[in-house]
Amino acid sequence: MEDGRHILVVTFPGQGHINPSLQFAKRVVKMGVKVTFLTALSAVNRIPKTAVFPRGLSFSGFANAFVDGWTSGTCFETFMAEMKKCGSEAVEKHITSSAEKGQPVIHVVYTILVPWVGQVANALHVPSTSLWIQPATLLDIYYYYFHGYGDIIGSKINDPSWSIDLPGLPRLTGRDLPSFLSSSNPYDFALPLFKQHFESRDEETKLRILVNSFDALEPEALRAIEKLDLVAVGPFIPSAFLDGKDSNAKKWKDLAKEAAKEGGSSDKNLKDFLNEILAD
């Protein structure tokens, strides 16, 4: 894309969030669409100076009170409040300043734990889409947890003899479910953020979410929930990890490479998504 139009990708400043969202951004750029990658400055500063990125991918970081980022001694609630405050200001500033320069943001893509990004974009009349950086099955489980299954899961998840049948998914035991759903998990403080993520989108009758998966891997999970339009555009991992050296995973690595290569299912899904937002 030779003009200044671009996509803004916003992610939580954790390695497990940055790596897949950065792989997504690279693939978008290689399809000819410019991307600005926005996250906390502490994370941007950790990107190696020698790293080489495709032309059309730029980085922007916003400062906050946590110059070293998240650490084990950081109060999560305080950290996330600061992220929301400073991040919201950064998203708004980037969108408005880009428009003034004649380089408009045509779409905002954001990952989990930062649902406020979509709210800021909506207030500025810029369309946005959520990028789910985990498998579709996990998305389905979280969705069901917040839509009628929370009480039973919360009360039974630690029972080794218990299992549950969620619509469209195979039978699951407590050990199969995300540890965040257990009240005994020290990181259950993240649950309200997942809930806000879904609540902020519940007003839409058919919610489209880009997912870190591919059609051959999770055909049922990608279509399990009628209200969700899950679009498989993964896997978001470097091609070096798909070289097939691990014979036990060779079948799935080969399928992943087929999905991501030009003309593959994920490649086609991503191109269709980009063509749609470029046409708006």
pTM: 0.91
CA 232 – CA 222 distance, rounded (Å): 8
Tell me 49's DSSP state: T
The widest CA-to-CA distance across the chain, in whole angstroms, is 60
Span 35-48, average pLDDT: 93
Active site residue 17: yes
User: Could you tell me which residues come within 8 angstroms of residue 59 by beta carbon, excluding any fewer than 6 positions away?
Assistant: 36, 37, 38, 44, 47
Helices H, strands E: what count in the chain? 9, 9
* Residue 70 pLDDT: 62
Domains of the chain: 1-132 (3.40.50.2000), 134-280 (3.40.50.2000)
258 phi and psi, to 5 degrees?
-65, -40
pLDDT-wise least confident of 29-33, 120-124, 164-168, 245-249:
245-249
Query: Residue 197 above 60 pLDDT?
Result: yes
Q: What is the pLDDT of residue 137?
A: 97
Q: Dump pLDDT digits (tens) for 106-130.
A: 999 999 999 999 999 999 999 999 9
User: Are β-strands 163-164 and 172-173 bridged in parallel, bridged antiparallel, or unpaired?
Assistant: antiparallel
The model's pLDDT over 252-271, given as tens digits with 9 standing for 90+, comes to 677 777 777 888 899 999 99
Q: For residues 199 and 29, what is the distance between their CA atoms, to the nearest angstrom?
A: 30
Task: Identify the active-site residue in 17, 94, 107, 197.
Answer: 17
Provide the 8-state DSSP code for 224. Answer: S
* pLDDT above 80: residue 245: no
